[in-house]
């Protein structure tokens, strides 16, 4: 009888340790803040957010400073509003420029912020007004190949 309880106790302790490990990994890998949020929200309005998704990185001077946390549409101005979660230690000014860039030729999209510095400091829930939408690679190639090439006729050669 003593052996039965000690085996059940060991299995119970093992299960508790497993549950704690799974909970920790879930919170860590899911980027869920437990003891206070270390970020603040900023917004940026783009004419297109093609290829951008929730969780995409936000970078400044080549370093990741946050993530994209949501999207909405401004029906009045017909633009996409992107919510960014920026690390509290990073300062962004109202003359900053947000651009949607691509990692490599066909890589994932991310937001690059040129910090500015001549304007006023953006507070939480502030909006970056200067933005650049992503470059449409297919449109660019077709423009180069077909659209902007001037065709000369025999009459023009004279």
pLDDT at 24: 85
Quote helix, strand, coil % in the chain, to nearest 5. Answer: 25, 35, 40
Q: Are residues 95 and 27 in the same domain?
A: no
For 26-44, what is each residue's pLDDT tens digit? 877 766 666 667 899 999 9
On whether the CB atoms of residues 52 and 45 are closer than 8 A, the answer is no
pLDDT tens profile 69-106: 999 999 999 999 999 999 999 999 989 999 999 887 77
Please report, rounded to a whole number, the percentage of residues in the chain having pLDDT higher than 70.
85
Q: Are residues 11 and 46 in the same domain?
A: no
Domain count, the chain: 2
Statement to judge: residues 16 and 84 lie in one domain: no
- Do 7 and 76 belong together in one domain? no
Predicted pLDDT at 35: 63
pLDDT of residue 46: 95
pLDDT the model gives residue 134? 85
Q: Which residue has the higher pLDDT, 135 or 94?
A: 94
Q: Is residue 115 part of a domain?
A: yes
Which residue range(s) make up the domain with 13? Answer: 1-32
Q: How far apart are CA 113 and CA 108, in angstroms?
A: 16
């Amino acid at each position: 009888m003593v052996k039965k309880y000690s085996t059940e106790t060991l299995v119970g302790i093992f299960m508790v340790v497993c549950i704690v490990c799974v909970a920790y990994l879930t919170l860590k890998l899911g980027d869920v803040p437990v003891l206070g949020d270390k970020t603040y929200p900023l917004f940026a309005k783009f004419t297109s957010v093609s290829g951008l998704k929730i969780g995409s990185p936000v970078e400044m001077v080549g370093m990741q400073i946050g993530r994209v946390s949501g999207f909405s549409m401004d029906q009045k101005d017909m633009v996409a509003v992107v919510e960014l979660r920026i690390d509290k230690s990073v300062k962004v000014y109202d003359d900053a420029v947000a651009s949607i860039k691509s990692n490599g030729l066909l890589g994932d999209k991310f937001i690059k912020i040129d910090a500015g510095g001549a304007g006023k400091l953006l507070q939480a829930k502030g909006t970056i007004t200067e933005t650049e939408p992503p470059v449409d690679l297919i449109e660019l190639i077709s423009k180069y190949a077909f659209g902007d090439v001037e065709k000369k006729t025999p009459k023009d050669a004279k």
